[in-house]
Structure 1
Amino acid sequence: MKYIRVTKENIEKEHICCAISSNKDIQVISKKNWLKERFDDGLVFLKSIERGKCFIEYIPAENAWNPIIAEGYMYIDCLWVAGSFKGNGYSTDLLNACIEDSKAKGKKGICILSAAKKKPFLADPKFLKYKGFTVCDEADNGIQLWYLPFSLDAAKPEFKECAKHPHIEQTGYVLYYTNQCPFNAKYVPMLLEVAKEREVPFQAIRLETKEEAQNAPTPVTTYALFYNGEYLTNEQMNDKRFIKLLDGMEK
């Protein structure tokens, strides 16, 4: 498999959004705009030359859109290999590319979000363990920060205090999200519409800056849904999934 690095110079012609094919899709537009604004912060987006979900996205941890303390580390936003690409070693290829690049840039190691058991849109803990990662911190909601240090004396990354105990004061449904995930551009408005039709209190808070994301009340900032102050899930939902959730909460 050959890989290509997406940059400011080639992003308009490159396919970057999972299985979404059209550059006119609001999800593609949203994601590409987000990436363009992150390249100057050191973000790297490496993908297969084939169309599909096979890519890694990483950034110096100081510029990550997550409430972590990981000075000198590289943070992996997303490592995604799916569908027909699975089982061919592409995850290892992409991870190794990140490791080599991070070492060349003098980083102390790399870190990434996961959980004790596989959660949607988070790294597979079995894969991370196999590759030598270990858990360095864990929030009350089970979201874990894993790291792979390049030296034995490297300090362990950790969550900021605001993210260790995910809880908010607002009642009703509150969604924190960013445009890092392309699906949000399509599905968040759907949830708002469902909530309006069902007369359910729902607030969508889009984190628009690095500083906002780094001080969010949740380890996962791409998508974090709360209900009456308590954390529910990081799984992106369409209208049908949200209706199912609402029906279950009403029972």
Structure 2
Amino acid sequence: MDRHRVIQRFTAYVQKFDHTDAGVVLKYEHSMRVSRIIEDIARGISLSDGDVNLAWCIGVLHDIGRFEQLREYHTFIDYRSVDHAKYGAKYLFGEGHIRDFLTDASEDDVIRLAVGLHNVFQLPCELTPRQRQFCQLIRDADKIDIFRVYATHLEKPDNVWHTDLSRLKEQPISDAVMAQARRMRTIRTEDKKTRMDFYAGVLCLYFELSYAVSRELVKEQGYYEKLLQFHSRNRQTEDRLDEIRSLVKCLGNQQDQDGL
């Protein structure tokens, strides 16, 4: 795989958009970080060099649909605009732009599925083991960098919750969201009603990391721990955050004992 070509073509694509837009910069940097993270995970599970390169390429391209989404709809919220993962897969494969990046078509099916399914609530059952593996790799890498994005923007005026920190600290966590958290599952978007629901949703992403090396990377980076340290002034919300913290700790202890 010609990594130089992939990066050169991806950068040229991004440069078609408004480079003064913070969202464009954010997603370009996110794509670069995810490509490095997924490479670390792939090496950590002892994939071949060819498969490491494939994983890296998926990391670069996984959010290619975000840029047109931002230009067209001025938002990264899929349910208010377009499913960015499906759009990215359509751009690459429906419109044939994957050949801008890669001349070899042998892994097209794996790339198409990994890009198109990286944001779904649950992966479909009919995937082959190889397809599932690369879908899991990109989903883990994406989650890991999402923790960084949320943690580093937490105290900024333009944070991802679009509210000042004092207001966020007053928000409730909905019963439906907490019910899913107690099952140690990711949270369905349609059940998120408050900004703290979205915050809890980010915390719950940890429950569905697929690989031990992914959890090690989360621990090393420290961003998730910073998110766990957020405290609410709403007593019920703080109690529910404590419950989520306990579930995360319990899961970590169990996985350590099982050697996962």
TM over 0.5: no
**Which TM-score band (shorter chain)?**
0.3 to 0.5
Q: Higher strand fraction: Structure 1 or Structure 2?
A: 1
**TM-score using structure 1 length:** 0.34
**TM-score using structure 2 length:** 0.33
